Amino acid sequence: MTTRPAATLRSRYVEQAASDLEENRRLQRELTSRISALRQEEAMLMDILRLAERYEGLPDPSPVPDPSAVPDQASMPDQAPSAVSDTKGTPRRSLLGSVLLELLAGHDEPRLAKEVREELLAKHPDRSPTPQVVRNTLESLVAKGRVQRHKQQRAVLYSLAQRPELRVSSRSKNSAGSKNSD
């Protein structure tokens, strides 16, 4: 009598294990296909990011540059002295990172990314990067050691990195300032 219920119980366990195993295999197939889709999406987003970085310095955020629509050099507005020329002799704008460094150099105290962007929009009306692009560029400059990040509670502020050659020039400007600021 005890063998019959044990056999029934065993068969239920075998069925449950087979069912669980099949469910696990189905979930594995589903997860494998989702991982594949996510990898494809990541590759596509990385391509978009590379393209965005490549065309970051262009004056117009148009999707495809039209070579026939490039105006001749005489009709273009004056460029900043730090502007670079390409191989065709057409002036190009400075990189966003260079412009942000120039803006930060004009201030003694750390600035919020929002403030830096507002100043950028005011001084360079031809540029209109999103707040996220400005933050990403500032973070890139932090990673390169050219800008310092300062945290005050929840706020993140940015200033030029303090390099020895920069400290000497800033002290010579403020010769009346204290020398124990290091």
Query: Which pTM value belongs to this model?
Result: 0.43
Cross-strand pairs, 92: 84
Q: Is the dihedral of CA 70, 79, 91, 105 positive or negative?
A: negative
Which of 24-28, 49-53, 89-93 shows the lowest mean pLDDT across its residues? 89-93
115, amino acid identity? E
Q: How far apart are CA 138 and CA 132, in angstroms?
A: 10
All residues at 6 or more sequence positions from 43 whose CB lies less than 8 Å from its CB, including other chains: none
pLDDT digits (tens, 9 = 90+) for 111-150: 999 999 999 999 999 988 999 999 999 999 999 999 999 9
Which of 69-78, 122-131, 145-154, 158-167 shows the lowest mean pLDDT across its residues? 69-78
Q: Which two tokens stand for residue 106?
A: 């004009």
Confidence of residue 87 (pLDDT cuts 50, 70, 90): low
Confidence of residue 63 (pLDDT cuts 50, 70, 90): low
In the predicted structure, residue 31 carries a pLDDT above the cut 50 = yes
Secondary structure E strands in 56-136: 84-85, 91-92, 111-112
Report the pLDDT value the prediction gives residue 5, as an integer from 0 to 100.
79
Q: How far is CA 26 from the centre of its chain?
A: 38
Report the pLDDT value the prediction gives residue 55, as an integer from 0 to 100.
74
